[in-house]
């Protein structure tokens, strides 16, 4: 008989998150302003979108972030800073 302790309690965790809100930690820094976050309880992933709000990290968003990260890294390595 297998014990059910291996269950990650995803359902319980999302229930917990529904009650108390997600506990996001930064999982990836994309740019200075855009980061990806992961909930430590239910593993839900979100990202900062262009308007500065958190939205779900869809494959499309992930792709955008990868592009942004790439651009950001290149720009940084060139050390060209325009004062906006």
Minimum gap (Å) between residue 40 Cβ and Zn ion: 7
Q: Are 44 and 10 in contact (CB under 8 A)?
A: no
Q: Are 15 and 2 in contact (CB under 8 A)?
A: no
Hey, how many other C-beta atoms are within 10 angstroms of the C-beta on 84? 3
- The stretch near Zn ion (CB under 5 A) out of 28-36, 38-46, 62-70, 74-82 is 38-46
d(CA 50, CA 59): 16
- The stretch near Zn ion (CB under 5 A) out of 4-12, 22-30, 49-57, 59-67 is 22-30
| Contact pick of 34, 36, 38, 39 for Zn ion (by CB under 5 A) | 39
Our CB check for Zn ion shows the closer of 30 and 46 to be 46
Is 22 one of the binding residues for Zn ion (CB under 5 A)? yes
């Amino acid at each position: 008989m297998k014990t059910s302790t291996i269950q990650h309690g995803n359902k319980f965790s999302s229930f917990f998150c529904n009650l108390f809100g997600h506990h996001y930690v930064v999982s990836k820094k994309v740019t200075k302003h855009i980061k990806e976050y992961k909930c430590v309880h239910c593993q839900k992933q979100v990202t900062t979108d262009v308007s500065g709000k958190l939205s779900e990290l869809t494959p499309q968003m992930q792709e955008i972030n990868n592009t942004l990260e790439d651009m950001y890294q290149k720009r940084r390595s060139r050390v060209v800073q325009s004062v906006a």
